């Protein structure tokens, strides 16, 4: 029965917006992609595409870049927070969509939504404690605990924790807030600035890989020791370098130094730390998952 429902989804990313109609079975029936510009003009494009397609849908899921206020009890619910995309700062995203539809609206971060979609249809199917990390122009993460996305004061912002710096890394770090946090040292812009090229244009034995894997391995350890997931998914543009994933597992094992007894737990790092099961539709399906989970 769930499979027959139709759900509208909006995935707001820093460079593009994906809108679509999905089914409860995780099939994408229609989709479009819109370049991200200022909020007013972008929202007009979203409305023009989506509004005529809402007739048979049960709700609109919105999976957005953060920071965003996700607490429905907050007067700022649905507002974008202090993003580097300054035109979007304080923009009341939820209200802008509410202007043209009475359907239920459910909003969360893109990464919390992706974690829920991976649980429903992807690499974490059936799991209840899952972390989804994206490594791209930034580093973000969604956390699902006991089957529900983690919210509270805000939402997870895992990319702004700080790793131990590697001694041979002299990059100051690219984060405007923290310099050398995980995002500042290991997201795409840090790789590009440090080595002059993106990772996928460097050979797999280039020291860039070992450094990237070490930082992401440290991040994996922090996540295993806080959220205690049974699936830890690494996605995003940087992870398209497929050599990286096994190196991250090795780095995580090195930093854990035997503290988690994987033999006793009956699981290996190969099962625990994985890449996404959903490809380019992950964000859109994440938006749909928000509506299904709330209905």
Residues at the contact surface with its own copies, assessed by CB under 8 A: 67, 69, 74, 76, 81-82, 128-129, 143, 145-146, 148, 150-158, 160-162, 164-165, 177-178, 218, 221-230, 255-261, 264-267, 272
For the bound state, the minimum distance from the C-beta of residue 278 to its own copies, rounded and expressed in Å, comes to 21
Listing DSSP states for 18-72 in one string gives: EEEEEETTS-EEEEEEEE---HHHHHHHHHHHHGGG-TTEEEEEEEE-SSB---T
Of 295, 194, 191, which Cα lies nearest the Cα of 244? 191
- Answer yes or no: are the C-beta atoms of 142 and 149 closer than 8 Å: yes
Nearest approach, Cβ of residue 228 and its own copies (Å): 4
CA dist., res. 222 & res. 158, Å (int): 9
Nearer to its own copies, 8 or 157 (CB): 157
Closer to its own copies at the Cβ: 32 or 129?
Answer: 129
Kindly state the smallest distance separating residue 152's Cβ from its own copies, in Å. 3
C-alpha distance from residue 256 to each of 77, 114, 219, 239, 249 (Å) = 38, 26, 11, 22, 10
Beta carbon nearer to its own copies, 1 or 264:
264
Q: Between 194 and 255, whose beta carbon lies closer to its own copies? A: 255
Beta bridge partners of 142: 132
- Tell the smallest beta-carbon distance from residue 3 to its own copies (Å): 27
Which one-letter DSSP state was computed for residue 157? -
- Region of 249 on the Ramachandran plot (φ > 0 left; ψ -120 to 50 alpha; else beta): alpha
Distance of closest approach, residue 155 Cβ to its own copies, in angstroms? 6
Question: 9 or 66, CB closer to its own copies?
Answer: 66
């Amino acid at each position: 029965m769930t499979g027959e429902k139709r759900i509208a989804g909006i995935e707001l990313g820093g460079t593009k917006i994906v809108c679509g109609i999905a089914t409860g079975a995780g099939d994408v029936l229609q989709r479009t992609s819109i370049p991200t510009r200022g909020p007013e003009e972008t929202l007009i494009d979203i409305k023009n595409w989506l509004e005529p397609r809402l007739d048979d849908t049960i709700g609109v899921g919105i999976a957005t870049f953060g920071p965003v206020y996700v607490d429905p009890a907050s007067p700022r619910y649905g507002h974008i927070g202090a993003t580097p995309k300054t035109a979007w700062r304080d923009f009341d995203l939820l209200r802008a969509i509410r202007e043209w539809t009475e359907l239920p609206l459910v909003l969360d971060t893109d990464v919390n939504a992706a974690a829920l979609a991976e649980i429903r249809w992807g690499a974490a199917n059936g799991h209840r404690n899952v972390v989804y990390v994206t490594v791209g122009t930034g580093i973000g993460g969604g956390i699902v605990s006991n089957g529900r996305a983690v919210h509270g004061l805000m939402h997870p912002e895992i990319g702004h924790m700080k790793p131990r710096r590697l001694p041979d890394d002299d990059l100051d770090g690219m984060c405007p807030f923290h310099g050398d946090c995980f995002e500042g040292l290991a997201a795409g812009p840090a790789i590009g600035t440090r080595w002059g090229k993106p990772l996928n244009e460097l050979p797999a034995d280039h020291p860039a890989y070992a450094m990237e894997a070490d930082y992401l391995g440290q991040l994996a350890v922090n996540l295993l020791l806080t959220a205690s997931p049974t699936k830890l998914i690494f996605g995003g543009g940087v992870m398209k370098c497929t050599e990286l994933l096994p190196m991250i597992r090795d780095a995580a094992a090195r930093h854990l130094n035997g503290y988690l007894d994987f033999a006793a737990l009956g699981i290996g790092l190969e099962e625990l730390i994985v890449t996404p099961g959903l490809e380019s539709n992950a964000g859109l399906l994440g938006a749909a998952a928000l509506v299904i989970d709330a209905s």
